[in-house]
Amino acid sequence: MADSQESLNPKNLRRRTHSTTRSNKIETVGVNEIVKDPTVNLDSSDEDRTNLVSNQESLLNADSSSLVSNGEEENESGGGRIGGAGVVSGGVGGVGGGGDGERSSNFAEKYMYRASAPAHSRVKESPLSSDAIFKQSHAGLFNLCIVVLVAVNSRLIIENLMKYGLLIGSGFWFSSTSLRDWPLFMCCLSLPLFAVAAYMVEELAQNKLVSEPVVISLHVIITTASILYPVCMTLKFDSAVMSGVTLMLFASVVWLKLVSYAHTNYDMRALSKSSDKGDVSSNTSDADNSYNVNIKSLAYFIVAPTLCYQTTYPRTTCIRKGWVTRQCVKLAIFTAFMGFIVEQYINPIVQNSQHPLKGDLLYAIERVLKLSVPTLYVWLCMFYCFFHLWFNILAEVLRFGDREFYKDWWNAKTVEEYWRMWNMPVHKWMVRHVYFPCLRNGIPKGVAVVIAFFVSAIFHELCIAVPCHIFMFWAFIGILFQIPLVLLTNYLQNKYQNTMVGNMVFWFFFSILGQPMCLLLYYHDVMNQRVRTL
């Protein structure tokens, strides 16, 4: 009863009559007039006209089915909207004056979908044009590339298995008898004894039983012996190549750790002496001055996934056993996949090739390009297994907190960026114990970089040439060749200011050309040496 009385109220009747009259006026106005002047018979503000133009694109891109549904709902509720594009009774502003924002929104919805409404309102580029291609998301194309890559490689694997069968065997990579490699295994187990010797030297230095020059001389002897001992063992015994590579990698890690241990303690002793004299600057932390030789800190450092010694490390609170189990399963799967590629693809290609420097040039290029894809897969698997899975497993078990073992080196614009990002433990060691000490002694930056590459080249040659029992210095030359590549990619980056150019040059020289060429060179030199010894 109250509702009927309110509806018969003269004020409400006049409001309805006025609203209906305004709505009828809108219907009689031509569409072109409305598009040209949105304020016809509506008394709309400048803001209404601005909102009309700015909302054209969003409304044109809206779901048409949703609009029809909305129109039907409003028509059923008495709104008078037909198909989402009709006239809403009661005026644009709504009954009772719903405000400028509501009036503008209703007006845009009513008249934007007319046939004469503009479909093109501003200048826009195609998504794949040169000006807009890098502003778009290419996630779908990336997924397509992954699908195509998996499909193509699956076909090639099936075709290879059907044609040649399963070729996995021990052969070149592993020893046929386990007794053949036991001297190298015993050598590997004895390497931590050099760390014990270094600790004893530091104990003598801490108790001031020996002078500083004697401490330095003893550390030089210990570190030199730690690398010469495995080299002599590898050259003396006819072991498998992979066993020798494993031993030399472990020996190199021990040498780097011992150098860091000796250098860090030397610096901490110097800071401690300066602190006693009151010469230490205020910005030197207390941790830097806490020189205290501890066997526990050394033992943790020897097994931790880092090459830089310090008395304490950031630690996590717990060990995630389930996570460790999953990573171990991944490690086993990717290691098996890596071995499959080596035995099924790389070995047959290499065995059926000629020496790249002695045969036909086009034939050598064909062999290198054919090797480039499987060697790239093996190298990527090696990186993932070693730097991601193994380092993170070791860090989780030891609760080692700093797990930045690598950065996004695959986006490197220059070769210099790649060497700074792909192996962070070695990079931090080089910066801490080679590069900055050179700068502090007045050596120019360019010369310091050359010295760092020279040290890296020596250890690359040791880890490859010694297990192969041949010294042709291919790895040494390959690492030193990175220096002109650094200059070249830096020049291209500065000239073109394009991240793609330097990144492509890096991928081509490092993965497509460099690694397959070194593999062919070392393989044929090893095979030629074995033929001569028979």
- Residues identified as active-site: 460
CA–CA distance, 87 with 107 (Å, rounded to integer) = 9
497, 439 contact by CB (below 8 A): no
What are the two backbone dihedrals, phi and then psi, of residue 400, each rounded to the nearest 5 degrees? -80, 125
347, 172 contact by CB (below 8 A): yes
Burial of 261 from C-beta contacts in 10 A (0-12 / 13-18 / 19+): buried
Count of CB atoms situated within 10 Å of the CB of 495: 9
Q: Which amino acid makes up residue 126?
A: S
Q: Which of 254, 231, 253, 257 is nearest to 244 (CA)?
A: 231
Q: Position of tokens 């037909």?
A: 82
CA–CA distance, 291 with 272 (Å, rounded to integer) = 7
Query: Per DSSP, what are the bridge partners of residue 315?
Result: 400
DSSP-based helix, strand, coil % in the chain, nearest 5: 70, 0, 30
b/e per residue, 412-431, with b = 16+ CB within 10 A? bbbbbbbbbbbbbbbbbbbe
416, 490 contact by CB (below 8 A): yes
Q: Position of tokens 């460790």?
A: 324
- Torsional sign, CA 415, 420, 426, 430: positive
Q: Which of 367, 339, 332 is nearest to 352 (CA)?
A: 367
Q: What is the DSSP string of 113-130?
A: TSTTS-S--S----TTST
Element (H, E) at 480: helix 474-480
Count of CB atoms situated within 10 Å of the CB of 38: 21
- Residue 533: CB partners within 8 Å, gap ≥ 6? none
Helix 192-206 with 212-236: angle, nearest 10 deg: 170
Count of CB atoms situated within 10 Å of the CB of 327: 17
Q: How far apart are the first and last CA of the chain?
A: 116
How remote is the C-alpha of 408 from its chain's centroid? 3
CA–CA distance, 41 with 37 (Å, rounded to integer) = 10
Q: Which of 101, 105, 100 is nearest to 88 (CA)?
A: 105
